[in-house]
Structure 1
Amino acid sequence: MLTQLRRGAGAAGFLPLRTLSASIMPIPTATPSAASPYAAVFIDFENVYYFLKNHYLDPQDPHDYALDLVRALRDTLKRELGLDSLVLYAYADFDRLPSGPQGPLYLMGVDTRNVLGTDHKNAADMQLCIDALEVLYTRPDIG
């Protein structure tokens, strides 16, 4: 039996799509190089910000700490894994966050995705998933 895999969650980062008998041709799929030196980073910045504010920090400090976490993530990917982040997206209703983190995020090379507050609590989560799937299927250079 031949098992076709696609990138995703699960053991070793792959999900089995289907099991094929040896007599059936596998469906051709675009697979990025295993040695791809690029990464995509999707950050639910609003969740990070409010988690820090509610659980760990003085209510005045979460903005700077959240920015430090984003910077540390980007730098760690480069330094320890050798991955350049070609796509860096941060999602939040930035109009509701105090002290405007969009400028500092932009200076770090992060593309901010302003997801306006709606009645749907997980609107940012849905946009993040849509963007992640788009990158998965349109950017074979990102491993």
Structure 2
Amino acid sequence: MTDTTPNNIKLFKDYHNFDDGLLVSFTYFYLPDEPLAAKIVLYARNERIGGDTWRHVEIVVRDVQELCAKVKGNQFNAISSSVKLLRFGELWCVDVDGTYLYGKDPVSLDEIRKDGECYVIGRFVEVNEVPD
């Protein structure tokens, strides 16, 4: 298993941090002989390609240390801010649509825990476009 690759970071940029995209699903699971993992599926427009090219993107976080999903049922889950990929020491955080002080990225995991409503903290992150 590898750490977050430049391709993962590139996909976040290609999709403009999934701004105005949709949160399709947020699940957690265990694979045999592995610690907890989580998968976030987003539907967003690839800004690099241009036009109206929308695709599904999966973000898988492995060796999850913490997760939180405060969502309302029977509601459309549009991303009005962005999805952030943040590094804190040896941990990665994927934060969905968090709004933080002065509109800037959170500076600590404590800030995410206090104000975040949908996030996953883990050791490894994989980001992949889902083929149609």
Q: Fold-level match, TM-score > 0.5?
A: no
Q: Which gives a bigger RCO, structure 1 or 2 (Cα 8 Å, sep 6+)? A: 2
**TM class by smaller structure:** under 0.3
Determine which structure has the larger strand proportion and give its number: 2
TM-score (norm 2): 0.25
TM-score (norm 1): 0.23
Determine which structure has the larger helix proportion and give its number: 1
